[in-house]
Structures are given as structure tokens and as C-alpha cells.
A and B are shown apart, each in its own frame.
Chain A
Amino acid sequence: MVNTAQWSGGREMEPPSSGAPRFRGAPVTVRPGESLVSALSRRGLPILQRSIRYHRPRAPFCGVGACTQCLVRVNGQPNVRACTYRPLPGDRIETENAWPSPTNDLLGVLDLLFWRGIDTLHGFRRPRSAAPVYHRIIRRLAGYGRAADTVPTTPVGAPVVRSTAVLVIGGGPAGRAAAGRLSENRAETLWIDAGPLPDSPPGVTALPRTRAIFLPLPDPAAETPFQLLASIDGVRAASIRARRVIVATGGFDAGLLFPGSDRPGVMTAEGALSLAVPGDAPPFARALIVGGGERAALLLERFGTFVEAVVAPGAIDPVVVERASALGVPLYPRSLLRGVQGRRRVRSAHVAHRGAKERFELRCDAILLAHRRVPNAQLLFQAGVRMHWRGAGGAYFPVIDHDLTTSVPGLFAAGELAGFTGTEAIEASGRSAAEASLGRPASLDALPARVPADGPHELEGYYRELLSGQFASGKLVACACEDVLLEEIRHAVRDGYRGIEVVKRYTGVGTGLCQGRYCLPDALLLLSILEGRPPESIGYITQRPPVFPTALSTFASLSDCAAPGGS
């Protein structure tokens, strides 16, 4: 529910000068508070990147500054996420990694030349004397932007240093409910969210636009066992020490693998919602919504007349049915995306009913992924919380007690992150975590509704069918950040490499800029099918800090408040 990318997500920049910001030399109109992607999207969905290996065209996907598909160069600083960057007067914005432009990139020919993929594990070995040449070529292809031309002169500023009794992370319904209950109890509370935090309850100190990036293992002997590192507006650092922490970071809209899933026009629900402010027309006219639950209902409400059809891997909820029939939008439950037409923009999708051979074509210019929420659990992994697989959720969730305590004393998990479903349960869990953090007996007799622990997730059947099908041609990109192909994962398993940790190192799946956010949840399911064992035995995905890539200078500014035992 949170992390909807309201943060300005910039990097330390040159001081702004005047005049409209320029994108590739041409002025762009940017409304106050608007991101570069949404400003550019008024002229149609922009293609801002080429992929790392095959230079496949890529357009904005996640909308939260996590994926690799909208990196641009701003005032000589590389790898700025256009979806969360708010342009300033005088900005010079260029594209990276494509020539002459991301729309028409000469190196795009690599995708066709290497139609079966580039094998950097076994290839480029002979003749041995050519090694230096291969090294030069492959190095040139790698990387996104060039290193910064200049050293930014604006300092990141002194870090914000705070200490509190209770820290609430997350401004969604669960975090808000927790902060409210803490306020009623006059507990010293600090409340943070990556987005804005309007109307904070009395007595609660709110730190909006503050993104939690690292929650190290607590030091149980310390007066304040927890120390959270965070970044404000993606630039300034914050260090928050706390005696108790309530994590309510919600979930995110996951990716989905199908032939063409990395094509421009395919994006997550969050990505779609971030493209245009309500009231403005989105940069698509006939979108396919994938999914039949709450998120699909939200997209229908928001994009109504721009929706072509709803396609769901599983069943479709009554609210979606109701909304869709009011709009005259056709529904395709229990369906499989078999392929996508269109190279630089989705033109149509091939859909088949699950279990059926024949497929049909649906014309569309965007595919919005609203089929699955995965918990934003990185902070919990970092802090050493015990997690368990909840089959129907198809993901790892924290193991929690009836009073919302995790395996780490003083750390509580609430809301969607902890697997609660429905607004009522989510809010109740937030209040209950607040009570528990104050040492009160649990106010809940029983835990409210949670994602069932018993699997299988509906995508397991979906992927089983997808894997057993024939793929006509083209690449199936299982990890868009690193251009890892499904075929490479199959090969790894066939050659005896097992488990997510090893397959990740073998193929590179999950090692890109999004740190596996958009590929590893599905890689677990795919591996479970390929290896023939349940997903929970494929292994944990170790979450390495930080949660989001964070500038060296931001961390550097904290070096005086992060000494061991410091305060």
C-alpha cells in the first residue's frame, strides 16, 4: 500500500539553473511535483532504455524507482530513475546506453544476431590470444551510464539523526493505524514513509519522503537496540535509533513471465498508476489488465475507458466482474498469456484459456500487471526475522505470534507485509502491533484474516502450463535487469545446479538493479517446477542491503553516526 513512489528520488545534483528542463535537447513541460516519466508520457509512453545484453527496447515498468527501464543521465550524473525524478529548471537530461537513441539503437541488432542468447559462461574463450579484445567489447556493452562527468558541488547535507521509543515504518493503512494507536497512548513515536504523510496523528513525529534502506541486526544489549538507515528524497541520509520497531511496508505489484514480458507497454499496476495524474489520459488507449483481484479493480476504476480486457491467471473477483460489465470490458478468467506482438510497443497479446490449445489475439497497447502482490520484506530479512513460505501467497512472510511479534524481540510486523488481507484486518493488525510494542497484552483474540499458508499459488499451475508449451521464437527474458533468459535457467538445472542461491550465481538472475524484486519471486516458482520440489525447498532469497540502491555520498554522510556502539 505504501512505497508508491511519491519521493523525489533524485541524486545529488548540480545546483539548478533556469529555463525549462531539457530532455535530449528539447524543452519539456513539467508540472509541479511531477516525475520526468509522467511529464514525458503526455507525448506517449517513452522508450528510455535499451537492455543490458541484447539492447532490447525498454519503457518504464515499475514506477517506484526499482527497475532498470527508465535510467537517464541528469546533468552529467548517470543512472537517475526517471520515474521518481522530479526535473528542476535548467536540467539537462540525456538517455544512456543507446545510439543514436533508445527508440532507434544501432546495437539493437545484437538482439537479432544473438537470437538464441549470448553465452558469457562458456563463450569467448577461443582463441586465448583474443581475450583482451573480448574483454574490451563485453566491457563496453556492460554497464548503463558513463561515470559522472563532474563532481556534484551541492552537498547531501547533514544527516537527520533521531532517537525514539517506537518507530513505525510505512504510511499505508496498517502503519497509519499503528501510529494512531500510539498517539492515543502518548507514546514517543516516529513515523516514516517513502511518500507523503499528511494528517499525522497528534504527538507523532512524521518524517515523510523518507525511505528505509537498511535495518541491521539489532544490538539487544543497547538502550536503543535498533538503528534504521534511511534516505530522504533519495539524497539526504537519516539515522533513526529506536527501542521498538513496527514494520508495515506493505507489498508491491510483482512481475510476470510470458513471451514478450519485457516489451515496452508491459508494466506493473504501480507503474501504470504513476504514469499519469488522475484526470489525465494515460499513455495507452487499450490496456490489458492482468489479474482478477483488488488491484485489478483499482486499475479498472482508474483507467476504465482505456481498458481493453481483463485477463487473469486464475478466477476473477465479483467486484472486478461488476465493474468490468458496467464498462463493457470483456473478462478472460483462467487464462494464459502466450505471447506478445510488437517490438517497440505492445500491439497485441496472444491469450489461451488454461488447458486449451487454441489461442486468440487481443489487440492492446499496454499490459498492466495486477495479478500478484509480494510483501516488501527486505527490512525483515535484514534484521534477521524468521520468515516462512505461505503457499497461497507464493512468497515468504514473517512468522508472527498472536500479538504480531516476530522472532526478533522488539520488532513487529503488521498489515499486508505480514500477510493480512482486507482493510479491516490490515488496520486491526496495525493497532494490535502498536499495543504490543507498548507491552500491552494483545488486543486481538485471534489473528484477523491472513493469506492462507497452504499453497499452491495460482501461478504454479500457470507456469507449469507455460513451461510445457512450445515457444515459437524469440527470447523469454526471465530477469529483465540482467537480460537472463528462461533457457539459461533451464540449462543450469539440467547441468545439475540446484536451488535459488546457486542458480542465481550461475545465471545472474536476480543480480540486477532491482535486486531480484521483479524476477526472483517467479524464479522460485519456475525452479520448483524444473527441479520437481516444493518452492519452499528452493531456498530463501538472501536480501542484501540496501533495499534500494543508495548513493555513496548518502552513506558517507552517516559515517560518524554508524560507528559500533555509537549514538
Chain B
Amino acid sequence: MIAPARPEYRVVVVGAGVIGLYTAYHLLKGGFGPVLVVDRGFLSSGASGRNGGGVRQQWETQATVRLARESVAAYRRFGSDFGYNVWFRQGGYLFLASSAAEVGQLRSVHAVVQKEGLASRLLAPNEVPRYAAGLALDGVHGASFLRSDGTLYPFPAIWGLYEAIRSLGGEVLLGTEVLSVARDAGRVSGVSFVNGSVKTSVVVNAAGGWSKEFSARAGLAVVNQPSRHEILATEPLKPFLDPMVVRLSDGLYFSQTMRGEIVGGLTVPHPPGIGAGMATSPHFLTSMARALSTLVPRLRSLGVLRAWSGFYDDTPDGLPVIGEDPRLTGFVHANGFGGHGFMLAPAAAQRVAKSVMGEGTDLDPAMFAPGRFLGAPSPATVERLQLG
């Protein structure tokens, strides 16, 4: 589609990533149309087409565990609901701790996860090979494992949502940037593009790494901060690794996809912001290669096939921002998902939709609402398990 079909929409969603698409889907399911989703790129050009596909329920905050658990159920159903197979494989998430302090962190995560009725386990180093063979375990002090965590293919999820939205009568406008948000007496009244505009009273900011930039276009300063993260894939091998492995000390994470590639990343310093673009850095390629080939020596001679990068949308407390901005009626946030938007999307977007529809949600405003950063000296709750 090259132009919106109507002059006016009930809701305009900015960003056709997994968050924006899931939000539009829930809105249309709730009969809250017409809905227009706008993206300046192609489908999956943002973080939703550049991520590691990891889905975990091990978190330090209970509310996040709940959202994740609900999302796991949604991804298990995805094939029947949307007609696309996301190949959600529950091979588990294995966190490796390299110090007593990190073991302590895994312990507190374990306690929270258990309370939610999920069967996570704390492992001594000598139990690790049962879950992932062939790791060089020197330096590993302990680990945690949850079998029902896993990995999926992000792309089919995007295609399934895209088609569901269109068959529910929603519109997805690609290759079109939203340049500004019009307001009228403290309320959102429309959005404009290069060659046109539409009226609406609700705009959802699901712009991922560009959410700060987009909030600014509505005249709102926010605390979100984009950060670049790099990732690579190797040549495919026959299956030998079931779980996603995450090392807390350096943020190394990797899993083996259904196609057999090892896909993973590592935290390397990058200047904050989107200015530096998305090119791969030699620093990442070489440090990632060193970290991976040292932890899994059998992979030393495995070829790196390709490397790429994308943006996280970080918040100071490591929790997403969900709900209407108290400064502008009709401007709804669905951003700040850091490195975890895919795994939280089904449940989180449902809350976004509910708040748009004025139904109220079960989310604690002190943890998720945009207002928590306005005037408060420091966040009430912090989610510290950010790696992997």
C-alpha cells in the first residue's frame, strides 16, 4: 500500500515491529478499529528482524516473569492462531555464573521463578554438561536452567501478524515515516508524513530504538536510550546444542537455530545513540569469536557466516514503558523493551491495547507506566537480569 485508505483512524501505531504489530492485532481483535500501522522501513527492518529469537521466563522481577510466561504460551499457540510456524523450540535457557555474586543473582532469580510455579534449577558446575556438552567450564561457579525457555524464528511471527492484521481489516503502511504528531488542546489530533497526514486521537509509539526520537517529535522528552548491539551467525552444523547459553560476566549468549547455525552476541561498548549506524565492528567480531571459541573449543574452526547489528531501546530500570503519557492525552508508549521485546511482545502488547481501549491493566504503574520517570528521584523497582 502506498497511501492510507482513510482520512481518519481510531488508532495510529508507529512502528511495524513485533510490538506495534501485536498491539494492532489486539486492538483489532478487540474491535477497536480502524487501525493504521506505519513504518518507515520494510517489514522487519528494525530490531524485530535482527534479534536472537531468545524467549526466557527467568527474571528477577515477578511481573516480568508473568508477562514472559504468558508470552511463552502465546508462542506455543502461534501456529494455530496465525497460520505461520515460528518453530518455537523449548530447549531451555542456561545461565552461567562466573563469580559468587553472580551465583547469588541466579539464586534470587530462581526464587522468583519458582514462586511463579516454573521448574527452574540451580546447577553446580559439574551438572552443566548434562544440559550443554562440550563447554570449557573453568571459571564457571554455577548455573541456572529452565527447560520451558527457548528460541524461535522471529520472521514467521512478523509475517503471521502482518497477515492477521490485514485480514482483520487493519492497514499496514510501509516505507512511510511519521514526521510529526499534531496536537489540539493537549490531545493528540493526528500524524503527518512527507506527503500527507491522517487524523487520529491515539498514537502508539512502538518505534523501538527510535522511540526517543519519535517521542521528541511529539514534543516529549523521555529517558529511553537506544544502544547498538551486534550479533553473528555461523555456518550450520547438525544439532548438538539444545539450550540458549548466557554468560553473565560478559554478556556472551548463543543458541543453535533450527537451521543449525550458531547465533549469538556479546556486549561490547558502543557510544550510545543511533548516530553511529548499524555497521559491524571488528571489535565485536573478534571479541565474540574469542569468547565463543574459548567457551566451546570444538567450535574453533567453525566459520562465521555473517554479522549484523540492531538497536535496543533501554530504560534506566530495565523495564519497558507501557501506557499513556501523562503529558499528552492519546500518546501511548509501547517501548523501552531493551533486548527483550520479542519474548515479551504477546503479553505486553495486549496490555498496551487494553490501555488504549481504556480497559485498565494488571500492570503496576510504579513499574511500567511512563509517569514513573517524571519527577521521581529513582525508579521503584529495577530488573537487573538484562543479559541474554
- A interacts with B: yes
Residue numbers of A with Cβ under 8 A of B are 11-13, 52, 77-79, 120-126, 128, 131-132, 135, 138-140, 142-152, 214, 216-217, 227, 229, 382, 384, 495-499, 501-502, 505-506, 513, 515, 539, 544-546, 549-556, 558-559, 562-564
Given A147-B298, A545-B306, do A555 and B235 touch, yes or no (CB 8 Å)?
no
Contact B79 A549 (CB under 8 A): no
State which of B49, B90, B234, B279 has its C-beta within 8 Å of the C-beta of A505: B49
Given A544-B280, A544-B307, A549-B304, do A558 and B286 touch, yes or no (CB 8 Å)?
yes
Contact B282 A214 (CB under 8 A): yes
**9 A-B pairs with C-beta separation under 8 A:** A120-B85, A138-B87, A142-B260, A144-B235, A146-B237, A147-B238, A151-B297, A552-B301, A552-B304
Q: Is residue B227 contacting chain A, with contact meaning CB distance below 8 A?
A: no
Instruction: Sort A-B residue pairs by CB-CB distance and give the 3 closest, nearest first.
Output: A143-B260, A549-B303, A125-B79
State which of B166, B260, B289 has its C-beta within 8 Å of the C-beta of A553: B289
The distance from the CB of B288 to the nearest CB of chain A, in whole angstroms, is 8
Contact A544 B308 (CB under 8 A): yes
Can you list, as one digit per residue, whether each of B222-251 has a CB less than 8 Å from chain A (1) or not (0)? Answer: 000000000000111111100000000000
Please measure, in the bound complex, the distance between the C-alpha atom of A152 and the C-alpha atom of B293, giving whole angstroms: 11
18 extra interface residue pairs, beta carbon distance < 8 Å, beyond A131-B76, A499-B42: A11-B301, A79-B235, A79-B302, A121-B159, A126-B80, A128-B80, A143-B239, A146-B238, A147-B298, A148-B302, A150-B298, A151-B298, A217-B277, A545-B306, A551-B302, A552-B300, A555-B286, A562-B286
Contact B298 A148 (CB under 8 A): yes
Contact A147 B304 (CB under 8 A): no
A125 (CB) vs chain B CBs: closest residue: B79
Given the complex, which residues of B lie within 8 Å of A139, measured CB to CB?
89, 239, 258, 260
Given the complex, which residues of A lie within 8 Å of B74, measured CB to CB?
none
Contact B238 A140 (CB under 8 A): yes
Given the complex, which residues of A lie within 8 Å of B289, measured CB to CB?
552-556, 559
The distance from the CB of A187 to the nearest CB of chain B, in whole angstroms, is 25
Contact B300 A143 (CB under 8 A): no
Given the complex, which residues of A lie within 8 Å of B287, measured CB to CB?
559, 562
Given the complex, which residues of B lie within 8 Å of A545, measured CB to CB?
280, 285, 306-307
Given A121-B85, A142-B260, A499-B42, do A147 and B299 touch, yes or no (CB 8 Å)?
yes
Contact A121 B84 (CB under 8 A): yes
Q: Is residue B281 contacting chain A, with contact meaning CB distance below 8 A?
A: yes
State which of A128, A143, A214, A501 has its C-beta within 8 Å of the C-beta of B237: A143
State which of B77, B279, B303, B305 has its C-beta within 8 Å of the C-beta of A217: B279
Contact B306 A544 (CB under 8 A): yes
Contact B306 A122 (CB under 8 A): no
Contact A553 B80 (CB under 8 A): no
Number of contacting residues on B, CB 8 A? Answer: 60
The distance from the CB of B48 to the nearest CB of chain A, in whole angstroms, is 11
Given the complex, which residues of B lie within 8 Å of A495, measured CB to CB?
163
Please measure, in the bound complex, the distance between the C-alpha atom of A304 and the C-alpha atom of B366, giving whole angstroms: 80
Q: Is residue B108 contacting chain A, with contact meaning CB distance below 8 A?
A: no
The distance from the CB of B158 to the nearest CB of chain A, in whole angstroms, is 8
Please measure, in the bound complex, the distance between the C-alpha atom of A533 and the C-alpha atom of B163, giving whole angstroms: 23
Can you list, as one digit per residue, whether each of B257-283 has a CB less than 8 Å from chain A (1) or not (0)? Answer: 011100000000100000001011111
The distance from the CB of A146 to the nearest CB of chain B, in whole angstroms, is 5
A565 (CB) vs chain B CBs: closest residue: B283
Contact A12 B159 (CB under 8 A): no
Interface residues of B in 45-97 (CB under 8 A from A): 45, 49, 76-77, 79-80, 83-85, 87-90
Can you list, as one digit per residue, whether each of B157-176 has a CB less than 8 Å from chain A (1) or not (0)? Answer: 00100010010000000000
Highest count of chain B CB atoms <10 Å: which of A123, A124, A147: A147
Contact B304 A122 (CB under 8 A): no
Please measure, in the bound complex, the distance between the C-alpha atom of A132 and the C-alpha atom of B237, giving whole angstroms: 19
Contact A152 B236 (CB under 8 A): no
Contact A549 B301 (CB under 8 A): no
Contact B279 A384 (CB under 8 A): yes
Given the complex, which residues of A lie within 8 Å of B236, measured CB to CB?
52, 142-144
The distance from the CB of B334 to the nearest CB of chain A, in whole angstroms, is 23
Contact A143 B301 (CB under 8 A): no
Contact A216 B286 (CB under 8 A): no
Given the complex, which residues of B lie within 8 Å of A52, measured CB to CB?
236
Residue numbers of B with Cβ under 8 A of A are 42-45, 49, 76-77, 79-80, 83-85, 87-90, 134, 155-156, 159, 163, 166, 234-240, 258-260, 269, 277, 279-283, 285-290, 292-294, 297-308
State which of B163, B237, B281, B297 has its C-beta within 8 Å of the C-beta of A144: B237
B133 (CB) vs chain A CBs: closest residue: A147
Highest count of chain B CB atoms <10 Å: which of A150, A151, A229, A552: A552
State which of A146, A384, A505 has its C-beta within 8 Å of the C-beta of B240: A146
Contact A123 B85 (CB under 8 A): yes
Please measure, in the bound complex, the distance between the C-alpha atom of A77 and the C-alpha atom of B77, giving whole angstroms: 39
The distance from the CB of A305 to the nearest CB of chain B, in whole angstroms, is 39
The distance from the CB of A217 to the nearest CB of chain B, in whole angstroms, is 5
B279 (CB) vs chain A CBs: closest residue: A217
State which of A131, A144, A384, A558 has its C-beta within 8 Å of the C-beta of B282: A558
Given the complex, which residues of A lie within 8 Å of B292, measured CB to CB?
552
Given the complex, which residues of B lie within 8 Å of A555, measured CB to CB?
285-286, 288-290, 304
Please measure, in the bound complex, the distance between the C-alpha atom of A132 and the C-alpha atom of B290, giving whole angstroms: 33
The distance from the CB of A226 to the nearest CB of chain B, in whole angstroms, is 11
Please measure, in the bound complex, the distance between the C-alpha atom of A135 and the C-alpha atom of B239, giving whole angstroms: 11
Please measure, in the bound complex, the distance between the C-alpha atom of A148 and the C-alpha atom of B133, giving whole angstroms: 13
Given the complex, which residues of B lie within 8 Å of A128, measured CB to CB?
76-77, 79-80
Given the complex, which residues of B lie within 8 Å of A138, measured CB to CB?
87, 258
The distance from the CB of B309 to the nearest CB of chain A, in whole angstroms, is 10
B159 (CB) vs chain A CBs: closest residue: A506
Please measure, in the bound complex, the distance between the C-alpha atom of A544 and the C-alpha atom of B49, giving whole angstroms: 14
Please measure, in the bound complex, the distance between the C-alpha atom of A142 and the C-alpha atom of B259, giving whole angstroms: 5
Given the complex, which residues of A lie within 8 Å of B76, measured CB to CB?
128, 131
Given the complex, which residues of B lie within 8 Å of A227, measured CB to CB?
282
A151 (CB) vs chain B CBs: closest residue: B297
Please measure, in the bound complex, the distance between the C-alpha atom of A214 and the C-alpha atom of B288, giving whole angstroms: 15
Given A502-B43, A505-B49, A545-B280, do A550 and B303 touch, yes or no (CB 8 Å)?
yes
Please measure, in the bound complex, the distance between the C-alpha atom of A384 and the C-alpha atom of B277, giving whole angstroms: 11
Given the complex, which residues of B lie within 8 Å of A146, measured CB to CB?
237-238, 240
Given A515-B306, A545-B307, do A562 and B239 touch, yes or no (CB 8 Å)?
no
Please measure, in the bound complex, the distance between the C-alpha atom of A436 and the C-alpha atom of B293, giving whole angstroms: 42
Contact B79 A126 (CB under 8 A): yes
Contact A551 B301 (CB under 8 A): yes
A555 (CB) vs chain B CBs: closest residue: B289
Please measure, in the bound complex, the distance between the C-alpha atom of A143 and the C-alpha atom of B134, giving whole angstroms: 18
A12 (CB) vs chain B CBs: closest residue: B301
Contact A78 B85 (CB under 8 A): no
Given the complex, which residues of A lie within 8 Å of B43, measured CB to CB?
497, 502
Given A148-B298, A502-B43, do A140 and B290 touch, yes or no (CB 8 Å)?
no
Please measure, in the bound complex, the distance between the C-alpha atom of A152 and the C-alpha atom of B77, giving whole angstroms: 43
Please measure, in the bound complex, the distance between the C-alpha atom of A227 and the C-alpha atom of B239, giving whole angstroms: 36
Given A125-B80, A495-B163, do A505 and B282 touch, yes or no (CB 8 Å)?
no
A124 (CB) vs chain B CBs: closest residue: B85
A229 (CB) vs chain B CBs: closest residue: B282
Contact A77 B258 (CB under 8 A): no
The distance from the CB of A7 to the nearest CB of chain B, in whole angstroms, is 14
Given the complex, which residues of A lie within 8 Å of B307, measured CB to CB?
544-546
Contact B301 A506 (CB under 8 A): no
Given A135-B89, A550-B303, A553-B301, do A122 and B238 touch, yes or no (CB 8 Å)?
no
The distance from the CB of A143 to the nearest CB of chain B, in whole angstroms, is 3
Please measure, in the bound complex, the distance between the C-alpha atom of A555 and the C-alpha atom of B297, giving whole angstroms: 14
Given the complex, which residues of B lie within 8 Å of A125, measured CB to CB?
79-80, 83, 85
Please measure, in the bound complex, the distance between the C-alpha atom of A506 and the C-alpha atom of B159, giving whole angstroms: 8
Please measure, in the bound complex, the distance between the C-alpha atom of A152 and the C-alpha atom of B302, giving whole angstroms: 11
Contact B260 A562 (CB under 8 A): no
Given the complex, which residues of A lie within 8 Å of B283, measured CB to CB?
562-564
The distance from the CB of A324 to the nearest CB of chain B, in whole angstroms, is 41
Please measure, in the bound complex, the distance between the C-alpha atom of A562 and the C-alpha atom of B79, giving whole angstroms: 43
State which of B239, B281, B298 has its C-beta within 8 Å of the C-beta of A564: B281
Please measure, in the bound complex, the distance between the C-alpha atom of A497 and the C-alpha atom of B158, giving whole angstroms: 12
